Amino acid sequence: MKVLNEDLDALLIFAGLFSAVLTAFVVPSYLLLQPDNSQLTVQLLVQISAQLARFEILPPFINSTASDASASPAFQVSTSARWMNCLWFLSLIFSLSSALFGILAKQWIREFLQWKKVAATPRENILLRQLRIEAWEDWKVSVGISAIPALLELAVVLFFTGLVVLVWTLDTVVAIVITAAVSVVILILCTVTVLPAVYRRCPYKSPTGWACVITVDALTLVIMWIGERLRWLLKCIEILLLFLFVFLAICPFYALGKIWQWNIQPAKELAIACLSRILRFNHDKRNSLPLFPRFSNWRDRDLYIDDLGSTEISNFNDVGLPHDRVLSAKICAAKDICEVIPLVRALSWVRKGTEDPHLLKHVAKLAGSLHTDGVCAEDRYYVLTYVLRKFHSAKSESRKLHSLSELENQIQLKAYDRVGREQMVFRGGIFSAYKYLDPPVGNLLDYSNVWVLGYLLIGDTMLKSSTHVHLCLLRHFLAVHDDNTFHTICRIQLQKIYNDAMSSQSDSHQKLRRCGLHTMVLEILCSVSEVRIVRGTGAISADRPRISADSIDNEIRLAIQMFDQNTGYSDHYARHQFVMMADLVIRSLDDCYVRNKDLMCALLQKMSEAVTISLEKGYQNCGCYHDLPWIGSMLSLSDWGLRFWMSSQPLWSLLDVLEKSLPTAGSNDENGDGGDDPGEGGNSGVCVPPFAKRRVVRENFFTLKEKVETLTLRPRTPGCV
């Protein structure tokens, strides 16, 4: 109501000013519709003067030689005068009518707003308000009030047209200039009025524009209706033409009788059947219309997202959605993209303009749930990656939208490695996530964009269908995004994912463990928090942020704690976690430091014990779900990291037991392709490497052993040296 009141106030002011200007033109123009008395007087005086000038005196007479003036022609109104007065009087009528209806509308609004009376009961006030608002909507009062400015716009157009007619009666040069100016103004007015009917996201919205929308939609609906009716008729005509072509091409004249019996008669029956089908279709469909989106207001129209209403997707193949998806899933994904991208921009604008923690909390919650309900969890991955690539390309110099395969290849090359059958492991150390994307998102996108996309990413990561790419992107965002609130939320959510994956026996959580995603979650947690195991349970606690940025003492303690709490090294989940946590420590030694070297010495001893127990009980790969990664990780360490952080005595002890656990390279295994370890107490799903891989493992180990021999001497006395 407030908006309508303000619009009416502006309309009344303009209508008053315009009517005053218009009156200045109307007053002299209506005189052109009647004879000019002053002009008639001038003509009579001219005639008398001519007679007096030609008097002749012939006594006793005075004669005038002037000829008798013929009677004055009858008065005729010019065509231009008629046009000017018609246009200007109509303009004045429409202008005053808009002011009149505006006053009436303000009275309606005033009466509508007087539903609340202090002396009345709340029940009566609420009842009266509801009755009035229902009547307001049923009688389409808002639509009528919105149409009032159209009268004023029409009045202005009529005034301009009459002005053009006037100047053409005065001077040609002036008329050309004024006509050009008026044409430009009217052309712009028509353009901004019609454009919203063609482009749904066009912001030039007005009541006259809505009338154009209704007109265009009605024409489109009529065309669709006619096409639906003619579809069967055109099909029948096509069939008849086909039969006619066959008849003229292959049928000789002497077989006309047989042709009539074999071809013409069936074609006639087919034509009758098609005609009856068309008539039945028209009878059944005469009261129905083709499916077409119809809207009641601008808001509903703007919120309707399709390929005509949005320019966010130039080519749907860029989304990367699998081709076997059904059409409805593709439509939902496209609609979700067209809604998520503007929402990300909007929330980024809010984030850029405020530091209010209460408001940011609500914005973060909204950013984590931007997807529409119709998009399945699997398709949200493609929506997320497309949105990220879209923002990335908008800020890059080339403006090129990289394909999904390019993004996935870059992440696989720098972020993770595929090992075993279906397991994924991170590459690099605990702080290597900054280089996952080139350039990093923090260098290319605004801080506010990274902030919103980060919360959207953590919202998708919480889904059970989250992938290793989700985790790689989340780890990269955590590395480039230093928002404490974001880190806290990520710690809470990732802790829940890990604990659920370790305690639940559901299919989705078992899949997480088989793919190694729970280990990747644990590594992400280690990069942002001080992780510890809750004593007596397999659950972890990550409620505290990471204190020391470059120290990995906490990760060493965590690995030792995993080994100590796994009594007898019997729990296969805990075995795998210990192997991967120890490997994370080794991979991080080049980029981090160890404050307490005794911890590193203790970890190497635990690793030796784990290998020894695995040899005794037949655990393949020391209990890891895939190939034991320790040898490759130590081999990739720099000479400085290997010599400075690893004490010689426990390192050589570990190498000795690892050498005993090396797979044999016998010729009888040459054709083996690996399989699950069937031994009692073995890991379910542990992969036995084939012959070629066994040979690589042995070569890597002896290369590592030679490297260690050149860096450290084998100690003769036990202890950490």
Residue 261 pLDDT: 54
DSSP codes, 342-374:
HHHHHHHHHHHH---HHHHHHHHHHHTT-S-TT
Average pLDDT over residues 699-714: 85
Identify the bridge partners of residue 541 per DSSP, sorted by sequence position. Answer: 532
Q: Dig out the tokens for 611 from the structure.
A: 């290998």
- Residue 685: band (very low, low, confident or very high) from pLDDT cuts 50, 70, 90: very low
Whole-number Å distance between alpha carbons of 371 and 335: 10
Identify which of 706, 627, 705, 694 has the alpha carbon closest to the alpha carbon of residue 665.
694
DSSP codes, 427-482:
-S-TT-GGGSSSS-HHHHS-HHHHHHHHHHHHHHHTSTT--HHHHHHHHHHHHH--
Cβ partners under 8 Å of residue 206, min gap 6? 149, 192, 193, 196
Cβ atoms < 10 Å from Cβ of 347 = 22
Overall size of the chain counted in residues: 721
Residue 453 pLDDT: 92
Write the pLDDT tens digit of every residue in 56-70: 655 665 555 555 555
Residue 684 pLDDT: 46
Residue 266 pLDDT: 53
Q: Map residue 375 onto helix, strand or coil.
A: coil
Q: What's the distance, Cα to Cα, between the start and end of the chain in Å?
A: 84
Global pTM reads 0.71
What phi and psi values does residue 61 have, to the nearest 5 degrees? Answer: -120, 155
Burial class (CB in 10 A: 0-12, 13-18, 19+), 488: middle
Write the pLDDT tens digit of every residue in 98-121: 999 999 999 999 998 888 888 888
Average pLDDT over residues 569-588: 90
Evaluate if residue 604 carries a pLDDT over 90.
Answer: yes
Average pLDDT, the chain: 80
Identify the bridge partners of residue 53 per DSSP, sorted by sequence position. Answer: none
Helix 468-480 with 517-528: angle, nearest 10 deg: 10
Q: Map residue 64 onto helix, strand or coil.
A: strand
Distances (CA, A) of 464 to 68, 260, 460, 486, 719: 111, 68, 9, 21, 47
Evaluate if residue 267 carries a pLDDT over 60.
Answer: no
Write the pLDDT tens digit of every residue in 139-168: 888 888 888 998 999 999 999 999 999 999
Identify which of 592, 455, 457, 478 has the alpha carbon closest to the alpha carbon of residue 527.
478
What phi and psi values does residue 345 have, to the nearest 5 degrees? Answer: -60, -40
- Residue 716: band (very low, low, confident or very high) from pLDDT cuts 50, 70, 90: low
Contact between residue 136 and residue 111 where contact means Cβ atoms under 8 Å apart: no
Does the bond joining 439 to the residue before it have cis omega, within 30 degrees of 0?
Answer: yes
Contact between residue 148 and residue 101 where contact means Cβ atoms under 8 Å apart: yes
Tell me 589's DSSP state: T
Write the pLDDT tens digit of every residue in 419-467: 877 788 898 888 888 888 888 888 888 889 999 999 999 888 877 667 8
DSSP codes, 248-303:
HHH--GGGHHHHIIIIIHHHHHHHHHHHHHHHHHHHHHTT--------SSHHHHHH
Evaluate if residue 297 carries a pLDDT over 70.
Answer: yes
Tell me 56's DSSP state: E
The C-alpha R_g of the chain, in whole angstroms, comes to 44
Contact between residue 391 and residue 406 where contact means Cβ atoms under 8 Å apart: no
Write the pLDDT tens digit of every residue in 14-56: 999 999 999 888 888 877 777 666 666 766 677 777 666 666 6
